[in-house]
Every structure is written in structure tokens, then in C-alpha cells.
Structure 1
Amino acid sequence: MSALEDIMTAKEAAERWGLAPITVRQACTGYKKAPPRFINTEARKSAGTWLVTRAGMERLYGPEPKH
């Protein structure tokens, strides 16, 4: 698996894990009642788009479901 396959947009990650996109975005940014859930090495914002790692998604939401 290439390194690029381990990085995805928050929207793509949400689709692959069967989550709502807002769930992954809030894990990146935090919200009023909770801090961000991803650590610095698992998510970052690039030109207005949140990028997340497979490792971060697996840590928070478990292995990617097989569809």
C-alpha cells in the first residue's frame, strides 16, 4: 500500500468508514463541548480541506469496514 493511500480527505474517510462527514470534521476541529480527537500527526488542514490518516481513523473508529 502506498503512502498516498494512507491519507484521505475527511469526506472520503467518512464514506469509507460509513460515518457522517460532520463526524470526521468535528474529530478534526473539535466543537463547543469537546476538543479535537485527532492528534497532530493524524489530521491537518490543507487549503480548506481536512486531511486525515488511516492510522488516525483506525485509532478512533476501528478498522475500515469491508463493503
Structure 2
Amino acid sequence: MRKATMIIDQYIKCSKTTAEEDSKSSIAKCSFCHKTTAEVKVLISGPSGVYICNECIDICNDIIKEDNHRR
């Protein structure tokens, strides 16, 4: 399986898991900015209860792009 496909599959699994967890009891929050699922478009779950939202991913991508331009 290609890397991009694996990432998409992982994203789909994480999105479903996050939605299921939110409906059960606690509201998941981004581990970086602490916004809830209601405040962002996408909240991706990682290992051990770590989450990252689409907004923080955008910031990370900007940082990586800037770093690549400096090299």
C-alpha cells in the first residue's frame, strides 16, 4: 500500500474514533491549542489520547515550508 493511502486510511480510522469518543463521555481537545471538536473542522486522534486539529496542522505545514525555503 502506498504511503499516502495509508495516511488517508489512518485519518479515516482516527476521525471515526474521535467522533465515537466524543459521543460517549468526554470532549476531545487538540493537544496543542486545546480547541474542541466543535471549534475546529477536523480533530485527528493519535496514540495515547493525543489529538491535533486541522488549524495546528496548517501551522505546522507553514513552519515546514519556511524551513525548507531556508535550506
Q: Normalising by structure 1, what TM-score? A: 0.26
Task: Name the larger-Rg structure.
Answer: 2
Higher relative contact order (CA 8 A, sep 6+): 1
Bigger proportion of residues as helix: 2
TM normalised by structure 2 equals: 0.26
